[in-house]
Chains A and B, each alone.
Chain A
Amino acid sequence: MGIGRALALLFYLLLVILPVYWMIITSFKTSNEIVNTQRITYWPENFTFEHYQQLFKTMHYGIYLRNSLIVAVSVAIVVTLLSIYGGYALARFQFRGKGAALVFFLITQMIPAILVIIPMYIVFSRVKLVDTLTSLFLFYSITNLPFCVITMRSFFERIPYALEEAAYVDGCSRTQTLWKIVLPVMFPGIVADFVFAFIGAWNELIAAVIFLNSQQRWTIPVGLKSLIGKYNVDWGSMMAGGCLALLPTAIMFVFVQKYIVEGLTAGAVKG
Chain B
Amino acid sequence: MCSKSSGFKISPETKRKLTPYFYIAPVIILLLFMYGYPLIKSIWMSFMDYKLTRLNKSSWNNFQNYTKMFMDDNFWLLLKNSLIYVIVSVAGQFLLGLGLAMALNKKFKGRGLYQSIVFLPWAFSSFVVGLLFRWSFNGEYGVVNDLLKKAGLITKGISWLGTPGLSLMVIIFAMIWVGIPFFGIMILAALQSVPDEVYEAADMDGCGKVRRFFLLTLPYIKPTIIMTVLLRFIWIFNSFDLVIIVTGGGPANYSQTLPSYIYTQAFSSYDFGLAGAFGVLLIFILTIYAVIFLTLTKYDKAGDF
Contact = CB atoms under 8 A, between A and B. Distances in A.
Interface of A: 1, 5, 8-9, 12-13, 15-17, 19-20, 22-23, 26, 34-37, 40, 82-83, 85-86, 88-90, 92-93, 95, 98, 101-106, 108-120, 122-123, 138, 141-142, 145-147, 149-151, 154, 167, 170-174, 176-177, 180, 199, 202-206, 210, 221, 224-225, 233, 235, 238-239, 242, 245-246, 249-250, 252-255, 257-258, 260-261, 263-268
A249 B123 contact: yes
| Among B26, B34, B115, B123: residue with most chain A CB under 10 A | B123
Contact of A112 (B99, B125, B238, B245): B238
B117 A242 contact: no
A22 B287 contact: no
Given A112-B283, A119-B41, A86 B26 contact: yes
B123 A118 contact: no
Contact of A106 (B100, B124, B262, B290): B290
B82 to A, nearest CB: 11
A264 B305 contact: yes
B302 interface: yes
A116 B2 contact: no
Contacts of A83: 27
A36 B19 contact: no
A248 to B, nearest CB: 9
A98 B267 CA distance: 39
Contact of A267 (B3, B4, B177, B195): B195
Contacts, number: 277
- B: interface residue count bin: 35 or more
B262 A105 contact: no
Majority DSSP secondary structure for residues of A touching B: helix
7 contacts: A22-B136, A40-B141, A114-B262, A115-B275, A116-B42, A202-B125, A250-B120
A145 B302 contact: no
Contact of B99 (A8, A138, A151, A180): A8
Contacts of A1: 106, 108
A120 to B, nearest CB: 6
Contacts of A90: 20, 24
A142 B188 CA distance: 28
B38 A203 contact: no
A238 B143 contact: no
A102 to B, nearest CB: 3
Most chain B CB inside 10 Å of its own CB: which residue of A93, A103, A115: A115
Contacts of B276: 115, 118
A253 B123 contact: yes
Contacts of B134: 233
Contacts of A17: 117
A115 B125 contact: no
Contacts of B231: 109, 147
B254 to A, nearest CB: 20
Given A149-B27, A180-B1, A242-B132, A203 B282 contact: no
Interface in B103-125: 103, 106, 108, 112, 114-125
Interface string B53-82: 001000000000000000000000000000
A37 B140 contact: yes
B144 to A, nearest CB: 10
Contact of A246 (B34, B123, B245, B262): B123
A5 B115 CA distance: 15
B17 A95 contact: yes
The 9 closest A-B pairs by CB, nearest first: A203-B125, A102-B303, A172-B2, A264-B189, A93-B20, A89-B23, A266-B193, A119-B38, A253-B123
B162 to A, nearest CB: 14
Given A82-B27, A101-B24, A150-B305, A22 B132 contact: yes
Contacts of A93: 19-20, 23
Given A37-B140, A116-B39, A261 B125 contact: no
B216 interface: no
B230 to A, nearest CB: 8
A100 to B, nearest CB: 10
A256 to B, nearest CB: 9
A181 to B, nearest CB: 9
Contacts of A205: 125-127, 241, 245
Given A12-B118, A82-B26, A246 B124 contact: yes
B139 to A, nearest CB: 10
B94 to A, nearest CB: 15
Interface string B206-249: 00000000000000000000000011001100101100110000
A203 B126 contact: yes
Given A106-B302, A242-B132, A257-B185, A112 B262 contact: yes
A177 B2 contact: yes
